[in-house]
Amino acid sequence: MKIAIVSKLWENTEAGSTGGTGAGLGYLVNALVDRGHHVTLFATGNSKTKAQELVSVRQDPYKDDYSEIVEMENMANAFRRQKEFDIIHCALEHKSLFFSSLSTTPVLHSIRYGEFFQQEIDFLKKHSQANFVGNSKSVCSKFNFLNFQGMVYNGIDLSLFPYQEKSGNYLAFLARVSPQKGVHIAIDIAKKTKRKLIIAGKISQQDRKYLDKYFWPEVDNKQIIYKGELNFIDKINLLKNAYCLLHPIEIFFEAFGMSLVEAQACGTPVISYDNGSPREVINSSKTGFVVSNFNEALEAVEEIKKIKRLDCRKWVEDNFSDKLMALNYEKLYNKIINK
């Protein structure tokens, strides 16, 4: 099968990407190529995958230099070559809908994000009969007005995530350092439970007021430690040695949560607020806990010691491998092409 995959430009697309979409598509591209398919990837020039061809309109991901023109050019490059492909798979939420109605080649649109502005919702509704795929049942339920052709969970290459039976005693937070991801709640949990918290993730200037009030004053690099945005090796070390991963998403709908799967693959349990997909990604009381409030989170920290780390690893092997993801996408591509 000849497959075009169009990725976001906010992050590089590869297994080691710090972005959820970039990592998820990186694993997908590699697994599809391993299954014998020809993949053309439209992404940043520094992306590293097994794709037979990489087409890029810029070398590095956006930082504070977002360009709508460049974004559209990335998508247009794929649709200009539509006759070369059996299917075009776009992981750009609503944006690729501007082009798909002009395509005679089947197009699949991934919904990998749980929050949209009303204008974007209206646009999705206008194009609701296009082919969509969600990366969790929660996403498909939230946007049930869309023509979902299937649901496929993200998967990871388990060979890159070494299982570790023994853990350290610190809590970990791995996500964008922002109010939406609840880093201030993670800090409060660490202080209440008197445990060290190691925080890793990118920071945006748009969150400066929040960070100046709720984050930076708490970082003492003794109990509350900020490591910045980690490379892949350092991320693995953070996850595999953690007592547990905190994911207190109080005001943000989590469409999937790659860090939850990555942590469990290393044997590290997860505590997450119940907002979106965590009940699908975590086997609650078996590989971690899905909680409703702060007090439940505090109790869960003490209960983590009852979790068997090997159960966390087995859960990911059975449900979130890159091989299973590629097989399910292959079935979905064939369904859409034949339709």
Q: What are the start-end ranges of the E strands in the chain?
A: 2-6, 38-42, 53-55, 87-90, 107-111, 132-134, 148-151, 171-174, 197-200, 224-226, 244-247, 270-273, 288-291
Q: What pLDDT, on the 0 to 100 scale, is given for residue 18?
A: 83
In this prediction, residues 54-76 reach a mean pLDDT of 93
Q: What pLDDT, on the 0 to 100 scale, is given for residue 63?
A: 83
In this prediction, residues 174-195 reach a mean pLDDT of 96
List beta partners, residue 200.
174
CB contact at 8 A, 151 and 137: yes
**Residue pLDDT, tens place only, 249-290:** 988 899 999 999 999 999 999 999 999 999 999 999 999 999
Burial of 286 (0-12, 13-18, 19+ CB in 10 A): middle
List beta partners, residue 247.
272
Q: Over the chain, what is the mean pLDDT?
A: 96
Q: What pLDDT, on the 0 to 100 scale, is given for residue 114?
A: 85
The single residue listed with the structure tokens 């709508």 is: 68
In this prediction, residues 31-45 reach a mean pLDDT of 98
Fold classified for 158-318? Rossmann fold (3.40.50)
Domain residue spans of the chain: 2-157+321-338, 158-318
Q: What pLDDT, on the 0 to 100 scale, is given for residue 306?
A: 96
In this structure, what are the phi and psi dihedrals at residue 224, rounded to the nearest 5 degrees? -110, 110
Enter the CATH code of domain 2-157+321-338. 3.40.50.2000
Q: What pLDDT, on the 0 to 100 scale, is given for residue 113?
A: 85
**Cα–Cα distance measured from residue 56 to residue 12, given in angstroms and rounded to the nearest whole number:** 11
**Taking the alpha carbons of 313, 148, 33, 73 in that order, is the dihedral positive or negative?**
negative
Residue 331 in tokens: 């079935």
Q: What pLDDT, on the 0 to 100 scale, is given for residue 19?
A: 84
Q: What pLDDT, on the 0 to 100 scale, is given for residue 251?
A: 82
**Residue pLDDT, tens place only, 173-183:** 999 999 999 99
**Residue pLDDT, tens place only, 89-148:** 999 999 999 999 899 999 999 999 888 999 999 999 999 999 999 999 999 999 999 999
Domains 2-157+321-338 and 158-318 share a fold: yes
